[in-house]
Structure 1
Amino acid sequence: MKRLLLSSAALFAFSGAAMAACPAVTVADPMGVAAGAYPQQYELAEIQSLADCTMEFSENPDIAALNSRIRGNPEVPALADRLPSEPLVVAPYEMIGNYGGMFNALSNATEAGTSDFMSVRHVNLVRYADDLTTIVPNVAKSWSWNDDFTQLTFVLREGHKWSDGQPFGAEDVEFWYENLALDPNVIESPKDYVLAGGEPMTVDVIDAQTVRFNMPSPKPGFLAHFANHYAQGFQPKHFLGQFHPAINPDADALAQAAGFESGYDVVKAYYGSSDWMDTPTPMLSHPDKVANLPLDAAPTLESHIVISETTEGRQFVANPYFYMVDTAGNQLPYINEMDEIFVGESEVRLLKLVNGEVDYKAQALQIDYVPLLLENQEKGGFVVDLKPDITMPTFAFNVTSDDLEKRKVFGDLRFRQAMSVAMNRDEINEVAMFGLGEPQQYIGFSPTPSFVPAEWEQHYAQFDPDMANSLLDEVGMVDTDGDGMRELPNGDKLTLNLQVATQGMSIKIVELVGQNWRDVGIDNTVKEVTTDEYRSAQSSNQLDVTMYEKSVPLAVVLGNAEIFIPPFDNYFNMRTAMLWGEYVQSEGTAGVKPPEYVYEMMEDIKAFQATPVGTPESDALGLKLVENMTGNLLFIGTVKEQKPIYFSSSLKNTTPFKTASYAYYRTYPYRPSQWFLTE
């Protein structure tokens, strides 16, 4: 391992530090060094002060070779010119790791089932520590609020660089917000999380490393958004800006020289049009034009950068300019390369896991896979851990169905109540979840906040087929042709098409619910589809019933109001009432007008986000949100479940997760940049 003492007064300087090298502190062995201000990490000056040391820095001996595989990158400079002068110092869980190795990842498709692997290399301004409570610095060195939570200021790391060696700073945050998140030529309409009270913020560049968000109304949950969301609060202005017409007046001409119609087309080729982190790069979206562009993928701050992409998968190499070091001064990440393959068939994915061909996996692993995985742990060289999931399998009837007769029925609360009490949640728990789950109604929040009375968790969640039959009779659904299945009130036959993406929930659960519904006379068929097929059909209003795992923690709701605004989430998650969403987004020029309680939720979520959490006012608003959402059974919950988490035995410095869910962005709290491989 090549070692380098960086002693320049301008770089890594620390007044009065002793010349002894810093101790290799780990979480397992703190070596007598006190904890820093934040758990399991230090600022450079902080650890040097606490340990009375001067940190020596080392680089990956393969970094020049890895850098040479990043098209467009200059020759790799010395480590002193790659690390920030204020690197983030990370305490590994168990030990100082070894460089090298190939991390094998498994996803469903280019934009399906990828968030698990995305989280392994992900960075953002801040993150949650592994207690899932404490927000800690990450890309940002520090932050501060004003008194009324209308201004959030971030201080970035001096000397931080993008993966191509160009400086990173406050203008990259401003560029992301002003020129991507709010530009309708890039993203058609701004996402809720970049708004406060439904209105845009403004961004001030105070200096090269200081940036401030100014909000039209208080939004104390905005910080938490950056701690758990995939969308990063920065993008490379020096690179994407050259193609952005608002930044460069020659952007269109530059784009046309590369074979594109406009600069915006190039921006979207690199960044996408939805802010999803795994938007296809030009290597996949424009393979005939990528050679005309300066880079295969936009520069990143993540631990690894993509260097190859096809419909079969993606390959990544370590970022030579990554801003983290371990407590021994080794630049992270330890892992040299990452290989992500796409497999759409759940049976094939499971086979690859059983054979030990994957290093880590949690997304799209259902609890019914557990017996086979446990049986093959030793032979396959992996371990499986069961952890509670914040989300739960949830169903929603399409209250804005294009079929007006179905819309009348699905929009009748009595029908939704009937379909909820027709579910045998205890049977679902025993048969599909081995008795490890907790039957519960969907209430939006998970875990249940203290302001929600326990009875809402069981609202119409009892198994009562007699009540279901009585309610369906009241709706006017009777069996007119004697086949045992109820028809719509106008006599039309009803067969629910239950399309399930196994990334979203276990097909076994859908089959059990389908049988429960047939038992009260509601005919249905169950069909497994790909995640892309499901998302497309859901968002185009084609499904009778949407189904996916759903529920989010209070911290997420404080920063992102999507689950209380129609269609009640984004494209990648579970939605319903698409035409209500269209009406709201078009301000009444298209779609279907929602009922009054939906408008109440929209106003209440704005007020809830603007009110300090834990106050009586906040609690009252939160309870009202639950009363409207759960009282109207827009979403019908089943059972909070346990989920498997899969680790290769050769993957080191892992730690047991507290939850298997997406809510805190999967692996992000557990610092994957300090993972390493022994084989």
Structure 2
Amino acid sequence: MANSLISVPAEPLVVVPYDSIGSYGGTINFLSNATEAGTSDMLSTRHVNLLRFADDLSTIVPNVAKDYEWNDDFTTLTFMLRKGHKWSNGEPFVARDVEFWYEDMMMNPKIREKPYPYLLVGGEPMTVDVIDDQTVRFNLPSPFPGLTATIAWSYNQFFLPSHFLTQFHPELDSNADANAQALGFEDGWDALAAYYGNSGWTDTPTPMLRNPNLVGGLEYAAYPSLEAYMTIEDTTEGRVYAANPYFHQVDTAGNQLPYIDYQNERYINENEIRLLKLVNGEVDYKSQSVQLESAPQLLDGAESGGYSIQINPGCGAALFSFNVNHPDDAKRAVYGDIRFRQAMSIAMNRDEINDVAYYGLGKVEQFVGFSPAPDFVPEDIKMHMTQYDPAGANALLDEVGLKDVDGDGFRELPNGDALAINIDYATQGIGGVEVELVARYFNEVGVKTTFKEVTPDEYRGSQAANQLDVHVWDKGQPLAIVAGNPETFKPPFGNYFNHTQGLQWAAYIDSNGSEGIEPPQWVYDLSDGIDQFQSYALGTPESNEWGQKIATMLTEQSLLIGTVKAPFPTYHRNALKNFTQFKTTSYEYYRTYPYLATQWW
């Protein structure tokens, strides 16, 4: 499906292939757990943003934008766009599309009740100015040099098709409700939700899945895109994407990318069936929801299956975070006691976890808010409360008032009720072997613990409802990412895709005390500290000083308990060309995005 170069911008982005100029055609096959499961490997392969990290994972380079420029004090960031760049429906992509995304969608409480923290600067919104069709400027309330890193890693694309979505926006078009109702939607807001999902996450269902009864009367069954591929099928069984005929990238011979015509993704929730399909060579690329414990089976089948396995370092580690805002008063008091969290940390035998769950390939370390830990983090903080000390754990639990009253070998809460911890986990976020080991360690110090594997959707449902005892998920943010994203250091201390054990503290702060639970002072100090850290350029003495302070504050609270930093498998079919060696298997750099999967063929 070679596309005419008439459809590319006047100055397209030229991609230098890793190995060879490709040939057009074919379909690339993917597997995901389910729709909106957060396990889709298609997302990053088709993803675009104004900027991206290059494959050295340190240099930030243009992608959708032609170029960008900071002012001297990092308070204005200007983007120059590509003349002639078009959306997948052939309409011009212009600066207004960036302004519309930020001012009219991201900052609108009817779209997003609460803005993403990485789209604020010190908790305050930016403003966006359209200079001309190809020039757009972000105005920041205070210095924030990490904004470019935010754009480079974020799954949230910093633009939306204003030419299409404005007609449904009640604050921008007086006929928005009528326009939406003519198509079968309840009103304009309903139409926006159907198309956009009111989320920066591009995994949300299109009207093909959300409103299939309306699709026949819609001009577009999915909103126009700048991505490498556009949706043509979206069902409960899977989805299919076709190459975007107006995509802005070309190879060094001038051929428009991507080379591959279609992306096909099927949903299979059972881990063993997914593994079987991988071993049989029925999938072209898989990274998400593949844990190291599956590596032996995958490696054994590689030759006969015609695929290769890379064992790449991850950025983070599996973390355990107790729900300090648990709805049960007695549990909340215990989980909120730092002595309890410290006890649970030193109850873990991390060396055994590394040997049994990770074949000795991992590294024992504490989570310090940055991963890998920068040089400014003191060595004692990197290993804080990682020693295996069940006697010390028992002593701390005694201090908390957790005693075995009835003699069954398990501790009761201070009020006499049974203390029972349930660990729900999804294999997207952690391997089951580690969870089983940790549950055993907790039981051995008298804290009754059970565990159960659930789907990612089930996990996130319990997470959003604040029903989890322990949040269990892989998490790690490199220094460059923390420079642009404060979420680890502010309640709820993560997002929908990892840890949110401080939901009620966040509600209290967001509502100025009218909702939620008042947090302790250290939470405010940590939040102020990350704002200070992000106001300085990385590598400056001020940045390093504040980085050390916030790493120490976070770690000493044992809020996010680290275990072992382990590598992860990355699977790809040998027939897939221009596939390079990844430096990391990591969500933090948005998976394949630095490696430009548009060149695969």
TM-score norm. by structure 1 comes to 0.87
Cα pair 2:472 2:498 within 8 Å, conserved: no
Counterpart of 1:299, as a letter, is: P
Cα pair 2:54 2:595 within 8 Å, conserved: yes
Counterpart of 2:477, as a letter, is: V
Cα pair 2:39 2:428 within 8 Å, conserved: no
1:80 deviation in Å?
4.6
1:621 deviation in Å?
1.2
1:427 deviation in Å?
0.1
1:264 aligns with 2:159: no
1:626 aligns with 2:551: yes
1:87 aligns with 2:87: no
Q: What secondary structure sits across from 1:153 in the alignment?
A: strand
Structure 2 equivalent of residue 343 of structure 1: 268
Structure 2 equivalent of residue 6 of structure 1: none
Counterpart of 1:610, as a letter, is: S
1:358 aligns with 2:283: yes
Q: What secondary structure sits across from 1:524 in the alignment?
A: strand
Q: What secondary structure sits across from 2:41 in the alignment?
A: helix
Aligned-partner Cα distance in 2 for 1:453–1:528:
36
Counterpart of 1:490, as a letter, is: N
Counterpart of 1:159, as a letter, is: G
Cα pair 2:290 2:569 within 8 Å, conserved: yes
1:288 deviation in Å?
1.3
Aligned-partner Cα distance in 1 for 2:371–2:152:
17
Counterpart of 1:168, as a letter, is: F
Aligned-partner Cα distance in 1 for 2:460–2:512:
24
1:290 deviation in Å?
2.1
Q: What secondary structure sits across from 1:503 in the alignment?
A: coil
1:381 deviation in Å?
1.2
Q: What secondary structure sits across from 1:335 in the alignment?
A: coil
1:573 deviation in Å?
2.2
1:455 deviation in Å?
1.2
1:531 aligns with 2:456: yes
Structure 2 equivalent of residue 223 of structure 1: 148
Structure 1 equivalent of residue 63 of structure 2: 138
Aligned-partner Cα distance in 2 for 1:550–1:181:
25
Alignment of 1:255-404 (within 5 A): 255-404=180-329
Aligned-partner Cα distance in 2 for 1:561–1:198:
10
Select which of 510, 520, 531 maps to 2:445: 520
Counterpart of 1:326, as a letter, is: D
Select which of 339, 350, 357 maps to 1:432: 357
Aligned-partner Cα distance in 1 for 2:290–2:467:
26
Select which of 158, 172, 178 maps to 1:233: 158
* Equivalences, count: 601
Structure 2 equivalent of residue 39 of structure 1: none
Structure 2 equivalent of residue 250 of structure 1: 175
Cα pair 2:377 2:552 within 8 Å, conserved: no
1:602 aligns with 2:527: yes
Aligned-partner Cα distance in 1 for 2:331–2:240:
46
1:499 aligns with 2:420: no
Farther off after superposition, 482-491 or 653-662: 482-491
Aligned-partner Cα distance in 1 for 2:375–2:47:
32
Q: What secondary structure sits across from 1:651 in the alignment?
A: coil
RMSD: 1.0
Aligned-partner Cα distance in 2 for 1:116–1:448:
27
1:221 deviation in Å?
0.3
Aligned-partner Cα distance in 2 for 1:487–1:352:
46
1:454 deviation in Å?
1.4
Aligned-partner Cα distance in 1 for 2:281–2:562:
34
Structure 2 equivalent of residue 571 of structure 1: 496
Cα pair 1:113 1:364 within 8 Å, conserved: no
1:614 deviation in Å?
1.7
Aligned-partner Cα distance in 2 for 1:459–1:167:
53
Farther off after superposition, 340-349 or 322-331: 340-349
1:415 deviation in Å?
0.6
Residue by residue over 1:326-352, the C-alpha shift from the partner in whole angstroms, topping out at 9 and shown as x without a partner, is: 001111100000101111111111111
Farther off after superposition, 487-496 or 206-215: 487-496
Cα pair 2:30 2:41 within 8 Å, conserved: no
1:187 deviation in Å?
1.2
Alignment of 1:546-565 (within 5 A): 546-565=471-490
1:105 aligns with 2:30: yes
Aligned-partner Cα distance in 2 for 1:531–1:423:
25
1:115 deviation in Å?
4.7
1:447 aligns with 2:369: no
Q: What secondary structure sits across from 1:140 in the alignment?
A: coil
Select which of 514, 538, 557 maps to 1:589: 514
Cα pair 1:409 1:475 within 8 Å, conserved: yes
Structure 2 equivalent of residue 481 of structure 1: 406
Counterpart of 1:167, as a letter, is: P
Structure 1 equivalent of residue 600 of structure 2: 675
Select which of 165, 173, 181 maps to 2:106: 181
Question: Any unmatched runs of 5+ in structure 2?
Answer: none
Counterpart of 2:540, as a letter, is: T
Are the structure 2 counterparts of residues 115 and 229 from structure 1 closer, same or farther at C-alpha, using a change threshold of 3 Å? farther
Aligned-partner Cα distance in 1 for 2:138–2:8:
27
Cα pair 1:421 1:461 within 8 Å, conserved: yes
Counterpart of 2:455, as a letter, is: T
Tell which structure's C-alpha radius of gyration is larger. Answer: 1
Counterpart of 1:175, as a letter, is: F
Cα pair 2:429 2:474 within 8 Å, conserved: yes
1:289 deviation in Å?
1.6
1:600 deviation in Å?
0.5
1:153 aligns with 2:74: no
Cα pair 1:485 1:523 within 8 Å, conserved: yes
1:120 aligns with 2:45: yes
1:81 deviation in Å?
3.3
Aligned-partner Cα distance in 1 for 2:408–2:72:
66
1:268 deviation in Å?
1.3
Aligned-partner Cα distance in 1 for 2:107–2:38:
27
Farther off after superposition, 648-657 or 609-618: 609-618
